[in-house]
C-alpha cells in the first residue's frame, strides 16, 4: 500500500442554516479545499461523500455545479461515522493505487425543512428507540454507571463542557462561542439524567472537504501534505449481554488497530478530536483511547492535560458539544481541524508544536449499547 497525504482542506462554519441546502454547504467546502490544495479541480479522480439525511445521489449534487463531473462518486452512509467512512474510502483508493488524487467530503443539513425532532426520530421499526432508548438515554446509562463505579461527580462531567466551550470561543467555525461555568452547565435544563442541555451536543448544518493524494502525486505538485498514518473503519459487535457500559468496545478495537497500523501510541499524540456527543463520552474516550487509566478521567481533565496548553488536547475545535454535529460532515471536519493544527494554521486555538493528531468517531446506537461503526485516523506532519 502507498503512503497517503491530505494536501488541502476546507469547511463551512457549523451552525443552523435552514436555508442552505446540503449541496450548497458541500460546494463551499469543496471549493475551499481545492483552492487550499492549489490543484486543478479537473485532476480530482473520485469523490467519496458522507451524508445521512439527504435524498438520492447527494455527492453528484455537490460536484456537478462545480463542473467536477464524470469522475467516480460514491455516497456513503454510516450514521455519525459517515464522514470518516468517506475518508477511509478515499484513503483506500489512494493507498491501493486505484487513483492518485481524490476527495473526501461530508455535508449535512439537519435544520432545513423539518424540526430536529423529525430529523433524528427513531426509525419506525426501531422498537428500542421508540420506547425511549435514544442517544441521550443510552449515554445517560453509561454516565450513571460510570459515576457509580468510579465515583465521578456531576461537576466532573460538567468540566468537559466548560473546557470545550473555552476551546470553541477561539474557533470562528464553531456554532457556540460563549464561555460557560460549571454552575451554568449544571443549571441548564435537564435532558436525560445526568445530562443537562449543555452536556449534549446539538445538531447543526455544515460541510467539510479534504483533498487526498499519493506521496508521488504530492511531490509532483510540489505540495506539502499531512500524512495519514492510520485509517481504520470497523462495525460494532452488537453483543450487549456481558459488556461493561463504561468500556466502548468498538472504540477500543478500532483504536488498537490504528495504533498498530501507525506504530504510534497515545503518548505521541498531541491532539484528539473524539466523539464527544455527551460529556461522559469524552471521559470514556480519555480512558479507552489510552490517555489515562480506567476511572481516572476526572483527574485527567482536572490536571489540564486535555485543555489547550496540555499534553493531549481533546476537542480543540470545541468538539461536537460546541461545533454541533451535522452527521455526515463531522468526520471530515475533524480531519480539517487536524490538518490545520499540524500545519500551524489554527489561529488563536493553535496547539504549539503539534506533530501528531488522532480523530475518532462512532456512529449509530442501533440495538442498544454497541455502536454500528467506528472510525479512527491518525495524522502526522
Block residue for cell numbers 496548553: 309
Nearer to a copy of itself, 22 or 173 (CB): 22
Q: Which three cell numbers stand for residue 10?
A: 476546507
Nearer to a copy of itself, 19 or 267 (CB): 19
Question: What is the signed CA dihedral for 226, 324, 328, 27, rounded to 10 degrees?
Answer: -70
CB of 69 to a copy of itself, least distance (A): 5
Closest CA to 370 of 265, 263, 248: 248
Question: How far is the CA of 379 from the CAs of 76, 132, 173, 256, in angstroms?
Answer: 22, 38, 21, 15
Nearer to a copy of itself, 236 or 319 (CB): 236
| Candidate ranges 53-61, 276-284, 292-300, 354-362; the one touching a copy of itself (CB under 8 A) | 53-61
Known active-site residue 374: no
Cα 146 from Cα 246, distance rounded (Å): 6
Cα 212 from Cα 30, distance rounded (Å): 12
Site for a copy of itself in 2-41 (CB under 8 A): 21
Q: Choose, by CB under 8 A, the member of 4, 134, 203, 233 that binds a copy of itself.
A: 233
Block residue for cell numbers 435537564: 190
Q: Choose, by CB under 8 A, the member of 31, 261, 366, 381 that binds a copy of itself.
A: 366
57 near a copy of itself (CB under 8 A): yes
CB of 60 to a copy of itself, least distance (A): 4
Burial class (CB in 10 A: 0-12, 13-18, 19+), 112: middle
CB of 211 to a copy of itself, least distance (A): 18
Q: Choose, by CB under 8 A, the member of 239, 293, 302, 311 that binds a copy of itself.
A: 239
Closest CA to 298 of 313, 310, 284, 312: 284
Q: Choose, by CB under 8 A, the member of 258, 364, 369, 377 that binds a copy of itself.
A: 364
Site for a copy of itself in 73-132 (CB under 8 A): 73-79, 85, 88-89, 92-93, 95-98, 113, 123-126
Closest CA to 87 of 353, 339, 340: 339
Cα 218 from Cα 168, distance rounded (Å): 32
CA 243 to chain centre: 24
Q: How many residues bind a copy of itself (CB under 8 A)?
A: 52
Block residue for cell numbers 421508540: 130
Q: Choose, by CB under 8 A, the member of 363, 376, 377, 379 that binds a copy of itself.
A: 363
- Which residues belong to the active site? 80
Binding site for a copy of itself (CB under 8 A): 1, 21, 52, 54-61, 63-64, 69-79, 85, 88-89, 92-93, 95-98, 113, 123-126, 233-239, 253, 363-364, 366-367, 372-373
Amino acid at each position: 500500500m502507498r503512503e497517503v497525504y491530505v494536501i488541502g482542506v476546507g469547511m463551512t462554519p457549523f451552525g443552523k442554516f435552514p436555508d442552505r441546502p446540503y449541496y450548497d454547504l458541500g460546494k463551499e467546502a469543496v471549493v475551499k479545499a481545492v483552492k487550499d490544495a492549489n490543484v486543478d479541480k479537473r485532476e480530482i479522480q473520485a469523490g467519496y461523500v458522507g451524508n445521512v439525511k439527504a435524498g438520492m445521489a447527494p455527492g453528484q449534487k455537490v460536484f456537478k455545479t462545480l463542473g467536477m463531473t464524470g469522475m467516480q462518486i460514491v455516497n456513503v452512509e454510516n450514521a455519525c461515522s459517515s464522514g470518516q467512512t468517506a475518508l477511509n474510502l478515499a484513503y483506500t483508493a489512494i493507498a491501493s493505487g486505484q487513483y492518485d488524487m481524490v476527495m473526501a467530503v461530508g455535508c449535512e443539513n439537519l435544520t432545513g425543512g423539518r424540526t430536529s425532532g423529525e430529523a433524528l426520530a427513531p426509525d419506525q421499526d426501531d422498537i428500542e428507540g421508540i420506547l425511549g432508548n435514544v442517544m441521550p438515554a443510552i449515554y445517560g446509562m453509561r454516565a450513571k454507571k460510570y459515576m457509580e463505579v468510579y465515583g465521578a461527580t456531576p461537576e466532573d462531567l460538567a468540566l468537559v463542557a466548560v473546557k470545550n466551550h473555552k476551546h470553541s470561543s477561539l474557533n470562528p467555525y464553531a456554532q457556540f462561542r460563549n464561555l460557560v461555568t460549571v454552575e451554568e452547565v449544571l443549571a441548564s435544563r435537564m435532558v436525560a439524567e445526568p445530562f443537562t442541555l449543555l452536556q449534549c451536543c446539538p445538531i447543526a448544518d455544515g460541510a467539510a472537504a479534504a483533498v487526498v493524494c499519493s506521496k508521488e502525486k504530492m511531490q509532483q505538485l510540489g505540495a506539502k501534505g499531512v500524512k495519514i498514518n492510520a485509517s481504520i473503519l470497523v462495525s460494532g459487535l452488537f453483543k450487549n449481554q456481558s459488556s461493561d457500559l463504561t468500556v466502548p468496545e468498538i472504540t477500543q478495537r478500532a483504536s488498537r488497530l490504528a495504533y498498530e497500523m501507525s506504530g504510534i501510541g497515545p503518548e505521541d499524540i498531541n491532539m484528539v478530536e473524539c466523539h464527544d456527543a455527551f460529556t461522559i463520552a469524552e471521559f470514556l474516550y480519555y480512558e479507552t483511547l489510552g490517555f489515562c487509566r480506567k476511572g481516572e478521567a476526572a483527574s485527567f481533565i482536572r490536571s489540564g492535560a486535555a485543555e489547550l496548553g496540555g499534553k493531549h488536547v481533546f476537542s480543540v475545535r470545541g468538539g461536537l458539544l460546541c461545533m454541533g454535529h451535522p452527521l455526515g460532515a463531522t468526520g471530515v471536519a475533524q480531519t480539517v481541524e487536524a490538518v490545520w493544527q499540524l500545519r500551524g494554521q489554527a489561529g488563536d486555538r493553535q496547539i504549539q508544536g503539534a506533530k501528531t493528531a488522532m480523530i475518532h468517531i462512532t456512529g449509530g446506537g442501533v440495538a442498544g449499547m454497541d455502536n454500528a461503526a467506528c472510525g479512527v485516523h491518525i495524522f502526522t506532519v
